[in-house]
Structure 1
Amino acid sequence: MRIEPKYSKNRVRSAGERLCESGQVNSDELDVVDYWRAAHQHPLDQMSEVLERFIRKGDGSFLACRLKRIDSIKGKLARESHTYKLNSMYDIAGCRFVASDLERVYQVVNDLSHLDTYRSSKDYIAHPKLSGYRCVHLIHCFDSPEYGYQGLRVETQIRTNLQHMWATAVEVYDVVTQASLKFGAGSRDEEYFFALVSQLFAIEEGTSCVPNVPCNSRDVLKELVRLNEQLRVTSKLRAYSESVSVVNEVAQQVHADYVLLTIDFDVQQIRLETFSPGKEKEAIAAYGRFERTKRESEDAVLIKASSMEDIQRAYPNYYSDISSFIDKLQECLP
């Protein structure tokens, strides 16, 4: 017997619209948004199971998945350049698969594109964004029988280690400087700096040039040196990266199904709360409670991964651990 959804998709859409309006969002609207996000937990688990088959031990690949933060949902819905609706947002549930190299990226993409659940893809490696963002995005659809919804979307991002290092470094820089580069709101020089770094990595991987950036390494390095002296990007990132402490971490706890990672940016402290298999609802409820009461300086994300190491590798922006990106960049700079 098919379960009827508690909220129609029209009701979900209107809750998303209210979420973007100025003023206080009432508890009823947040209940709808929480419910809609929770409905994506089963599709997220389904996609995670599929992706785990592609992990090869010892080749450096890893996987982590998450349910989107309320603040991120609100930010995406509020973008003036797009007309996103909550009921049709494709990345409420999202997975990051980092592959050993470019060849492996496209092997996984090809296999995933032949699944019955596959719907669409965008190749930002062959066609990088102006920002320098490079990755392949795929959308798959799964039902959420417990909540009564059909065809809920899950976005999977598949990229190389270099592409992953670049993307997470941008996110950490946004935290350090409040630049919002990820959403196209940084200064022209800051945006150009990271586009140049992406181009440097693209040259190393032999992929398409980033738009509006020199295609030869000599010119790229010359501009990078100039902008790094002006903006002090590497020194800012290194100072911030070395200031974060982690509490309540159970190292390598592979039996945890979901982990609620919370961070207080004022004191640079991370807390981790683990939830064993079968406790998914408790994890989602704890996520929602934290978001409703958090301070301005706090943030959280609910992550599904097989180990604490994979969480840190997949989301180093929360740990501010981007030492590999800094080391890689300083190796290249004269």
Structure 2
Amino acid sequence: MSGNTRSFPSKGAVRRAGSTIRAFQRGEAGLHEMDSALTVIEEHRARHALPLVKVNNGLRRFCRSLEIDGEVTQRLKKVPTITDKLIRESGLDLSRMQDIGGCRVVVSDVQQLRLLEARIRKTWRDRIKRSSDYVSEPRESGYRAVHVVVEWDSCLVEIQLRTPPMHAWAQLVERLSGMTRTNHKQDGTSILQRYLAVVSRIDAFAEGLAPEPSQEDLDSLVYLGEEAMRVLRKAGL
């Protein structure tokens, strides 16, 4: 044996690295400790690369066998995004962060989404650690998708299942968040968040997942859309 198997940090080391990031933010840790923590996070992130590819390949096989025209993509969360999340969610254990590795499948409609979800639940039932159905129960923000977290080679990988309208809505939120440097993905009551929530309800109706929009929703769509444009113009966008 060559003994070239890569060694990754232990769960305890990963957990401590997450705590150090928060301590540094509070001014309770030095630069040397921060640098060491970032090295651990880089190594922990790298550990997810191969499991992520395995999940991606499995999802592609499911799509082929079910004759689903699914767009399968993958990504590793960047280190600054990981540290931002650790600071934002003070109780989060880095060793159990579920979305360092993520796969997304965009399918043509809700029927295909449910078909693929059923295959994942049946074939990977022993790997599933948690799941969230934001299609049946959208978030207050309007976010809609199905999330399934699976464990592969001791790493958690989050799978997101979306239809094109769900994906287009989420991409719009990402763009607006980047443009305004404000995280509009979270639940909230800003003008932009209220506008996006109404857009999501109308999208859900178009996909047969929600009642017909009320006149109040239609009226507020116009008003909130105009207010959202004022906010963007004021921000110089």
Task: Identify the TM-score tier after normalising by the shorter chain.
Answer: 0.7 to 0.9
Amino acid of the structure 2 residue aligned with 1:206: G
> Superposition pairs for residues 107-118 of structure 1, below 5 Å?
107-114=115-122, 115=124, 116-118=126-128
Q: Determine whether 1:17 maps to 2:19.
A: yes
Aligned counterpart, 1:77: 86
Take 2:6 and 2:227, find their aligned partners in 1: how far apart are those partners? 58
Residues 40 and 93 in structure 1, CA contact (< 8 A), matched pair in contact too: yes
Structure 1 unaligned blocks of 5 or more = 144-150, 210-214, 241-334
Per-residue CA distance 1:200-219 (angstroms, 9 max, x = gap): 1011112147xxxxx62533
Aligned counterpart, 2:41: 33
Residues 196 and 220 in structure 1, CA contact (< 8 A), matched pair in contact too: yes
Q: Give % identity.
A: 33
Aligned counterpart, 2:191: 189
Aligned counterpart, 2:206: 204
Q: Cα distance, 1:55 vs. partner?
A: 3.6
Amino acid of the structure 2 residue aligned with 1:35: E
Q: Cα distance, 1:73 vs. partner?
A: 1.0
Take 1:190 and 1:10, find their aligned partners in 2: how far apart are those partners? 40
2:75 corresponds, among 47, 66, 71, to 66
1:224 corresponds, among 204, 207, 221, to 221
Aligned counterpart, 2:141: 131
Q: CA RMSD in A?
A: 2.8
Take 2:48 and 2:190, find their aligned partners in 1: how far apart are those partners? 37
Instruction: Using structure 2 for the length normalisation, give the TM-score.
Output: 0.84
**Residues 97 and 234 of structure 1, relative CA distance in 2, 3 Å threshold:** farther
Amino acid of the structure 2 residue aligned with 1:69: K
- SS of the equivalent of 2:185 reads helix
Aligned counterpart, 2:97: 89
Aligned counterpart, 1:158: 161
Q: Which moved more, 1:17-26 or 1:115-124?
A: 17-26
Instruction: Using structure 1 for the length normalisation, give the TM-score.
Output: 0.61
Q: Cα distance, 1:131 vs. partner?
A: 0.4
More helix per residue: 1 or 2?
2
Take 1:139 and 1:18, find their aligned partners in 2: how far apart are those partners? 26
Q: Cα distance, 1:167 vs. partner?
A: 0.6
**Residues 216 and 61 of structure 1, relative CA distance in 2, 3 Å threshold:** same
Take 1:123 and 1:90, find their aligned partners in 2: how far apart are those partners? 16
**Residues 234 and 105 of structure 1, relative CA distance in 2, 3 Å threshold:** farther
Amino acid of the structure 1 residue aligned with 2:82: I
1:51 corresponds, among 42, 45, 59, to 59
Residues 19 and 29 in structure 1, CA contact (< 8 A), matched pair in contact too: yes
Structure 2 unaligned blocks of 5 or more = none
Aligned counterpart, 2:108: 100
Residues 40 and 92 in structure 1, CA contact (< 8 A), matched pair in contact too: yes
More strand per residue: 1 or 2?
1
Q: Cα distance, 1:8 vs. partner?
A: 1.6
**Residues 104 and 37 of structure 1, relative CA distance in 2, 3 Å threshold:** same
Q: Cα distance, 1:183 vs. partner?
A: 3.4
Q: Cα distance, 1:84 vs. partner?
A: 1.1
How many positions carry a matched residue from both structures? 224
Residues 141 and 152 in structure 1, CA contact (< 8 A), matched pair in contact too: yes
